[in-house]
Copies of this chain bind each other. A is one copy, B any other.
Amino acid sequence: MDSKSSRKNISQAIIRRLPRYYRYLGELKAEGVERISSSELSSLMNVTASQIRQDLNNFGGFGQQGYGYNVEYLYDEIGKILGIDRPHKIVTVGAGNLGSALSGYQNFPRYGFNILAMFDNDEAKIGSTIHGIPVLPVSKLTSYIEENGIEIVILAIPKEEARQIIHTLEGTSIRGVWNFAHTDFEMSGGIVVENVHLSESLMRLSYEIANSERLD
């Protein structure tokens, strides 16, 4: 296994692809497949075999000539690289439609992404549970984070509110923010931000439609 420092130069493109490797290997594992060659994985994932070899070489390889990759081993190793070999404690700020849907999303717990609470200012929601998750007042957010060792905060609130709350979050011990607010920001203190701009994804689809032709 490479040390952290030797991984510093891994490109964003590879990091973007790693979860996809993880997903395909997870499916192969679930189907009972024990090993796979880079060319088989290549045709499955629609990526060239040489890219697969190059990508995985960044993390020490894992493959053996003439044998291919051990599916379970590679799955576990990529899980470690992605930091999902251990559970993550998460809270969601914003118990609206999107915040509630994300908090109850059934795919997350299987990867160890556990959403423990939602926070909202709406008196009608505070004290209730949504998808079994308690809704607490935003005034309790920082104390809840510290008392429960929360690592990730999901922001599912409008941009104006998000801009206010990030300053509060910078004073806590969280490690990352998954941001669905329609704004970009960076945070101090080494807190990592992953922005998900749903409207922009839909615009890219719109662009592709405008620049493609329907074939019948």
Question: How many residues of A sit at the interface, in one of the four size bands?
Answer: 35 or more
Is B207 in contact with A81, judged by CB distance below 8 angstroms? yes
A131 at the interface (CB under 8 A from B): yes
- Which residues of A (56-98) have their CB < 8 Å from a CB of B? 81-84, 88, 97-98
Q: Which of A104-160 contact B (CB under 8 A)?
A: 104-105, 107-108, 111, 113, 131, 151-152
In the complex, chain B residues whose CB is within 8 Å of the CB of A197: 19-20, 23
Rounded to whole Å, the gap between the CB of A197 and the closest CB of chain B is: 7
- Shortest CB–CB separation between residue A38 and chain B, in angstroms? 18
CB <8 Å contact, B209 and A189: no
Interchain CB contact under 8 A, A19 and B190: no
**Among the listed B20, B97, B175, B205, which residue makes an inter-chain contact with A194, where contact means beta carbons less than 8 Å apart?**
B205
Q: What would 19 more interface pairs be, CB under 8 Å, given A81-B210, A88-B206, A192-B212?
A: A15-B207, A15-B208, A16-B204, A18-B207, A19-B203, A20-B184, A20-B197, A22-B203, A83-B210, A84-B203, A98-B102, A107-B198, A108-B199, A176-B205, A176-B206, A178-B201, A178-B205, A189-B215, A194-B201
Task: List 12 contacting pairs A-B, 8 Å CB cutoff, sorted by A.
Answer: A15-B204, A18-B207, A19-B204, A46-B184, A82-B207, A98-B105, A101-B101, A175-B209, A176-B206, A176-B208, A176-B209, A189-B216
For the complex of A and B, 6 pairs with smallest distance between CB atoms: A83-B210, A19-B200, A101-B101, A97-B101, A190-B215, A194-B205
